[in-house]
Amino acid sequence: MTDVTKGPDGAAETAVEAQPAVSGGARGDEETVPIALNVARTLGRRLLELLVLLIGISTLLFFLLRLTGDPAAVLAGETGDQEQLELIRKQYGMDKPLIVQYGVFLSQVVVLDFGRSLANAQDALGLVFERLPTSFTLVIIAFTANLAFSIPLGAWLGSRPDRQTRKLVATGVFIAQGIPGYITGLVLIQIFAVELRWLPSIGNQGPASWIMPALTLASFQAPHVIRVISANVSEAMREDFIRTARANGAGFNTLLWRHALKNAMLGATALIGTQVAFLLSGSIITEVIFAWPGLGRLLVTSVQTLDFPVVQAAVFCIAIFVFIAITATDIVFLFIDPRLRRQRA
C-alpha cells in the first residue's frame, strides 16, 4: 500500500519538517514546561481522536448496514425463509425502533461485546485476539527490516544527491515505488518458491517462511521511507551547522552519520509513526498471498462471508492498534527530540 503523506509544497517527498505533537516551537530563554505535561497533552488528544474514530466507524457501519438492505436477510444468508427472518429480527432486536437499536448497539460496544461470529459462533473478539499475535509478529519483522534497510540507504542517497551512482539507485527506488507490494509478493513467490524452490510460500512454518512475507510487507513502504529520509538528509546536509562542523575538521562520514542523520530522522517522526498503519494495510494482502494465519486474513474472510460481528471486532482492534503505534511514536520522539521537549506553557 503506497503511503500518502505529502509535504505541504506538494512534492512527493520533500524534506518533512519535524512536526511536534504539541503546538508551538521552542526558542531560547522561554519558560520550560515539564515533559510530563507534554506527554499528558499528547495522550489526551490522541485518546479523544481514538474515541471519535471508534464511535464514528461503528456508527457508520451501523447505519450503512441498515440503510443498504435488510440486515436480517444478510445475516440469514441466502437460505433464510420468512420464518427465519422473523426469528433473526426478534433475536437481534431489529423490530424495535432504530434509535433504540442504536442505543443497544452502543451499549454493547462500550463493554466490548461484539457478539459471536456468524461462521462458527465463537466470540468475535476472542477470534480476533487469537490472530493478533501472528499478525503482530509479521508487522514487527517487516517494520524493523524496512527501517534497517531504508534509513541507511536513504541517508546514503541523500548525502551526495548529484553523484552518478546515487542518481541511478534513486531511479531504481522510484521505479520500485511504482510496484505495489502485492505484486512484489507474487514475483517473490514466482522466483523463490516456484523457480528456485528455496523458500516456502505458505503459512507460518518457522523462520524460513517468514522471509518472503516480511520482505513483501516491508516493500510496501520501503521506497517511500527511502525517499523521505533521502530528502531530509540532503536538506540537513545543506544546513549551516554542517558547515560549522566541517570547518572544525569533521570528515564526510562524521558529517553524515553523526550530524545530518539525527536531524533528518527527527524530521521524519510522522512518517515512522504511520508506518505501522500502512503496514497493517499491506499485511492484509500479504497474509492472503502467503496464507499467513493472521488478523488480516481473518478480516478478508469475514468480509467475504459478511460475518459482521467479526468485521466489527477486527476493525476495532486495528484502530486501537494503529493509535497505540502512532501515539507511542509521538511520545518516544517527545523524549528524543530536544526541540520538542521544552514548550512555552
Partner 1 sequence: MTDATAAKSQAGFKEKRRIGTGSTQLNLGLVIFSMIIIALIIQGLFIPSSALDGELTVRLKPPGMTSNGFHLFGTDQLGRDLFFRVMGGLPWSLGIAGLATCILATIGTLVGLVGAWYENFIRTTVLLTISTFIAFPFLVLALVMVAVIGRGFWPITLTLGIIAWPVVARVIYAEGRGILQREYVLAAKLFGVSKWSILFVHVLPGIRPTILVMAAFLFAVMLIIESALSFLGLGAPLNAPSWGNMLSDSRQYLINAPWMMFVPAGAIVSAVISLNLISDGVAEISRMRARAVEI
Partner 2 sequence: MSAVQETTSSGAQVTKFGETTLAVNDLVVEFPRPVGDNFRAVNGVTFELRRGETLGLVGESGSGKSMTALSLLGIVPLPGRIVEGSVVLAGRNLTGLTEAQLREVRGGDIGMVFQDPMTGLNPVRTVGSQLTESSARHNDISRTEAEERAFRALDDVGIPSARERLKAYPHELSGGLRQRVMIALALMNHPDVIIADEATTSLDATIQAQILDLFRERLASATMILITHDLGVAAEICDRIAVMYAGRIVETGTIEDVLSSPRHPYTVGLLSAVPKFDIRRPKLVPIPGQPPTADDIIRGCSFSPRCPFAQPQCDNRPELEDRGGRFVACWTPRGAEAQ
Q: Which residues bind partner 2 (CB under 8 A)?
A: 26-29, 239-241, 243-251, 254, 258-259, 262-263, 266, 337-339, 342
User: What residues between 24 and 53 interact with partner 1 by CB under 8 A?
Assistant: 48-50, 52-53
* Amino acid symbol at 287: E
**Residue 247 binds what, of partner 2, partner 1, none (CB under 5 to 8 Å, by partner type)?**
partner 2
Q: Which three-class secondary structure state does DSSP give residue 300? A: helix
* Cα separation values, 260 from 20, 238, 339, Å: 19, 9, 16
Tell me which of 76, 308, 309, 340 binds partner 1, using CB under 8 A.
308
Q: Quick check: 11 binds partner 1 (CB under 8 A)? A: yes
Q: Which three-class secondary structure state does DSSP give residue 120? A: coil
Q: Running DSSP on this structure, what letter comes out for residue 259?
A: I
Q: Running DSSP on this structure, what letter comes out for residue 193?
A: I
Q: In this structure, is the dihedral angle defined by the CA atoms of residues 12, 16, 21 and 25, taken in order, positive or negative? A: negative
**Residue 311 binds what, of partner 2, partner 1, none (CB under 5 to 8 Å, by partner type)?**
partner 1
**Residue 169 binds what, of partner 2, partner 1, none (CB under 5 to 8 Å, by partner type)?**
none
Give the gyration radius of the chain's Cα atoms: 24
Supply the minimum distance, in Å, between the C-beta of residue 158 and partner 2: 15
User: What residues between 178 and 207 interact with partner 1 by CB under 8 A?
Assistant: 178-180, 182-183, 186-187, 189-190, 194
User: What residues between 81 and 140 interact with partner 1 by CB under 8 A?
Assistant: none
Write down the H helix ranges in the chain: 35-67, 71-76, 82-91, 98-110, 124-159, 164-177, 181-188, 208-237, 240-247, 252-253, 261-266, 269-289, 295-304, 308-336, 338-341
Q: Which three-class secondary structure state does DSSP give residue 205? A: coil
**Residue 250 binds what, of partner 1, partner 2, none (CB under 5 to 8 Å, by partner type)?**
partner 2
Tell me which of 222, 231, 264, 319 binds partner 1, using CB under 8 A.
319
312 CB contacts (<8 Å, ≥6 apart)? Answer: 58, 61, 114, 124
**Residue 315 binds what, of partner 2, partner 1, none (CB under 5 to 8 Å, by partner type)?**
partner 1
Identity of the residue, 4 or 121, whose beta carbon is nearer to partner 1 in the bound complex:
4
Binding site for partner 1 (CB under 8 A): 1-2, 4-6, 8-12, 48-50, 52-53, 56-57, 61, 64-65, 68, 174-175, 177-180, 182-183, 186-187, 189-190, 194, 273-274, 277-278, 280-282, 284-285, 288-289, 299-300, 303-304, 306, 308, 311, 315, 318-319, 322-323, 326
